[in-house]
Amino acid sequence: MAWYKDKTAAVYAGEPEPGTIWQTDHNPGDEVPMSGIYRCTGCLKEVTSNRSDPFPPPSHHTHGLTAVKWRLMIQTNTSGI
């Protein structure tokens, strides 16, 4: 099971914390707060990241002039429940 944020809706029925986890940007190298798929807000490339691992560095992919910021797109449920 995964929780996700629809592009047109601010809050999805299964969202653990309305709004906050879906609107927080993370810097390269920061600790990943929860496992999931994160999107670069500048170029829209996506990565799968595991909780407690660091986010990929800025050199992870070719990027334009905007800063690399990672935002949660899909939260994965890794508990197996």
Residue 57 lies in a domain: yes
Q: Domain count of the chain? A: 1
More confident residue, 81 or 67: 67
In a domain, 22, yes or no: no
Residue 7 has pLDDT above 80, yes or no: no
Q: Whole-prediction pTM value?
A: 0.74
Specify if 51 maps to a domain.
yes
Question: Rounded distance, CA 59 to CA 79, Å?
Answer: 31
Q: Is residue 18 part of a domain?
A: no
Please check whether residue 13 lies inside any domain of the structure.
no
Predicted confidence (pLDDT) per residue in 26-73, tens digit: 999 999 999 999 999 888 889 999 999 999 988 877 777 778 899 998
Q: What's the domain range around 44?
A: 1-7+29-81
Rounded Cα distance between 35 and 41, Å, is 18
Residue 58 inside a domain? The answer is yes
- Residue 12 covered by a domain: no
